[in-house]
Amino acid sequence: MNGKSKILAVALATLMTGSTLGAVEYVYAAETTTQADSAKQAESKNIIKTLDEAHKALGETRAARLAIFNGTPEIAGKLVNDAMADFKVVNDSVKDFAVANVTPTLKDDSYVPFDTSMTLSEDFVPTPEKQVTIGKANDHLAKGDKDKALETLKLADIDVNLSAAFIPSKASIGHIEDAIKLIGEGKYYEANLALKAIEDSVVVQSFNMDEVPTQGASS
């Protein structure tokens, strides 16, 4: 991919989620969506629905680790309890949100997506016509209409890949339970390791838009 293609890809991904997915570190920010946006996303066959509580729980997990490092265990204790409540929602939402073909996977666990981004395919070659199309797609994304953006790109034969970040539901609850117990015992170093294990369990996977997996009980 040449420099111009990379810029276009990053611009597209940034408008999609507000941030790009990195391999080493994520910035977890609380996000809210309207019921109308959630319904539109759920109806899409090309967009993986993300769960706000999963995104929020990971933010609380990271914030709890920072609180431990900053010597404020009482704040860390509150944050891990908040994360536990959100991870319980994640576990209860597996039947609607989980994706089966995520690799690598933990045995007997379910992976729930919490973030997505779109990028142009590696073989994308920019032309004046395609740049106009991408501009139109960006306009749709800016308005929150992801389905219309994808339709616009497909009609112009512009290939797009979808990347999604997943978290295992059962393992996350187990680590949070450990962290709550360890903080209560004053074992902050060990509690930090339990929280770190949640972040380490995140899996990022990319899909061709024609091969986006189904979610929920039928996946």
Residue 186 maps to a domain: yes
Q: At 79, list the tokens.
A: 């944050």
For the segment 16-37, what is each residue's pLDDT rounded down to a tens digit?
443 333 322 333 333 333 444 4
Is-contact 161 207, C-beta < 8 A? yes
179-195: pLDDT as tens digits: 999 999 999 999 999 99
Q: Which residue, among 118, 123, 135, 159, has the nearest Cα to 17 in the 3D structure?
A: 118
My answer on whether omega of the bond before 126 falls inside 30° of 0, hence cis, is no
pLDDT in tens, 121-176: 767 777 888 889 888 888 988 887 877 888 888 888 887 888 899 999 999 999 99
Domain presence at residue 125: no
Q: 161 with 209: CB under 8 angstroms? A: yes
In the predicted structure, residue 15 carries a pLDDT above the cut 90: no
User: Which CATH number do you get for residue 20?
Assistant: 1.20.120.1940
Lookup result for tokens 């597209």: 12
Most confident by average pLDDT, 15-29, 39-53, 120-134, 194-208:
194-208
H or E segment and range at residue 137: helix 128-142
Least confident among 3-7, 113-117, 168-172: 3-7
Report whether pLDDT(5) > 60. Answer: no
Exposure of 165 in the CB half-sphere (CA atoms within 13 A): 24
Q: What is the pLDDT of residue 90?
A: 96
Contact 131, 8 (CB under 8 A): yes
Residue 68 lies in a domain: yes
Query: In this structure, is residue 150 part of a structural domain?
Result: no
Q: What is the predicted pLDDT for the residue at 217?
A: 56
User: Would you state the pLDDT for residue 45?
Assistant: 53
Q: Tell me what percent of the chain is helix, strand and coil, each rounded to the nearest 5.
A: 60, 10, 30
Number of structural domains found in the chain:
1
In angstroms, rounded to a whole number, what is the distance separating the alpha carbons of residues 180 and 29? 22
On the question of pLDDT at 59 being above 80, the answer is: yes
Output the pLDDT for position 98. 94
Amino acid at 82: D
Question: Average pLDDT in the 81-103 region?
Answer: 93
Is pLDDT above 80 for 112? yes
Range of the domain at 19: 3-120+161-210
219 vs 214: which has the higher pLDDT: 214
Most confident of 1-10, 73-82, 116-125: 73-82
How confident is the model at residue 151, as a pLDDT? 83
- CB neighbour list of residue 180: distance below 8 Å, 6 or more residues apart: 77, 80, 81, 84
Mean of per-residue pLDDT scores for the chain? 79
Residue 131 lies in a domain: no
